Amino acid sequence: MHVVFLSEHFHKRPSGPRKACLELARAMEQQGHRVSLIGMAPRNEDEAWTGSGPACLRRYAWRWLPVRLGRPRFFARELARLHAQSPIDAVLAMGLEAGAAALRFRAQSGVPYVLNPRSYLGEAVGHPKFSLARRLTDQCNGFIALSPAACKAWFARLGSEVPGLARGIFNGCTPGRPSGPPTAHREPMILSVGMLRRTKGHHLVIRALAELKRQPWTLLIAGDGKERAHLERDITRLGLTSKVKLAGLVDRGELDALYGQADFFCLFPIYFEACGNAFLEAMAAGLPIVASQAGGVPEVLATEHGRGVRLVPLRGAADVDEDLVLPDLVAALADQLAIRRGTPPWTAQSIALTRRAETLTWQHAAQGYIEVLGQARLTAPQPLRISGPPRPPRYSL
């Protein structure tokens, strides 16, 4: 089967969608399938690729037609060009703009598409993105969300039952990735990995740790983003400049070493986290985890008896009330700080996490995608079965 990934975010480095494309393509190619990629990007560039088909970034180039109207037509034409060179069996549309192009291409060629949104549908009813999501979901030959919770939430937002052609499939991870040796005779180290956006909850973790500032610990946050200046001000105001380090973007080797030194991992999203690649990586490294119960996070971190995972519920109405959440987060951090790396309780937690990670490999993920894409070739679109009014958006469902 020749599958084309049509991705809106592959050009971003680093990014979860880019990693998912590369790892899925590699795993699908190993299972005997041909995978090509067209990236919707601000530049034209041929890409190094793990699949067996071509990969390229293409910039929208039609000045005579507005982007909103022209991009679906432009990228449908790019799909048609590739189809003429090597017939396509199915398109994996990784995002709504990609879905609009895939729908137009299907009208021209008959090639089915599977809609694969990479995030939660948070826009209000009547917003153009909400209307587009409804139309593409109604017309697709298959649907893959990044977790069962994300799949259920997507259709709840549309006021629809979840159809048989829809599935939630986690991204994968690589258990047993090499890591550096633990550092002896030091304070407990907490690792966090994620872009510096407010929705990632770094500011809330820093607030919670300020309540424990008299205890020994250090927090290292790997990632960058527009929230950095705000976090730096919080760190200074709370008197944590010697305890919290914003490391910026780190390379793969350095990140593996950090996983091998940390006592535990903490990331606290306060929005609907569809899956969370950072959690998968931490779990693959055997690191105990403190996190929120946002979106699909509890499903991803479903270890046996919940061992090695401390999940804090998000409290509030439509949005998270951070003051209500803070005491539970402080308690979870304090409990995990008491368990040092290498001790018998820590080792038991680590084993539970790596066992869970072994069930979430990229090979498992690829097999699920292949099943849905294969069924899409035989499945006509199934109109949405409306079961009630659209559910209003929430950070945590």
pLDDT in tens, 297-313: 999 999 887 899 999 99
Q: What is the pLDDT, as a whole number, of residue 317?
A: 53
When pLDDT is cut at 50, 70 and 90, the band that residue 385 belongs to is: confident
Q: What is the pLDDT of residues 166-189, one digit of tens each?
A: 999 999 999 875 555 555 558 999
Distance from chain centroid for Cα 305? 24
Residues 6+ apart with CB under 8 A from 143: 114, 115, 116, 137, 151, 154, 163, 165, 166, 167, 372
Average of per-residue pLDDT values in the chain: 92
Q: How confident is the model at residue 384 (pLDDT cuts 50, 70, 90)?
A: confident
| Average pLDDT, integer, range 284-307 | 93
Q: Which residues contact 355 (CB under 8 A, 6 or more apart)?
A: 303, 304
Beta pairing partners, 114: 92, 142
pLDDT tens per residue, range 99-108: 999 999 999 9
What is the average pLDDT across 58-69? 88
The predicted structure's pLDDT at residue 12: 83
394 pLDDT band, cuts 50/70/90, is: low
Using an 8 Å Cβ cutoff, are 294 and 271 in contact?
Answer: yes
Sorted by where each starts, the structural domains of the chain and their CATH numbers stand as 2-172+365-376 (3.40.50.2000), 189-357 (3.40.50.2000)
Cβ–Cβ under 8 Å, residues 190 and 219? yes
Integer Cα distance of 36 and 70 in angstroms = 23
d(CA 125, CA 350): 43
Model confidence at 383: pLDDT above 80: no
> What per-residue confidence (pLDDT) applies to 64?
86
Confidence (pLDDT) at 81:
96
pLDDT, tens only, 253-270: 899 999 999 999 999 999
Do 105 and 76 meet the contact criterion of CB atoms below 8 Å apart?
Answer: yes
> Does 90 or 12 have the greater pLDDT score?
90
pLDDT tens by residue, 183-219: 555 899 999 999 999 999 999 999 999 999 999 999 9
pLDDT of residue 115: 98
Contact 312/396 with Cβ under 8 angstroms?
no
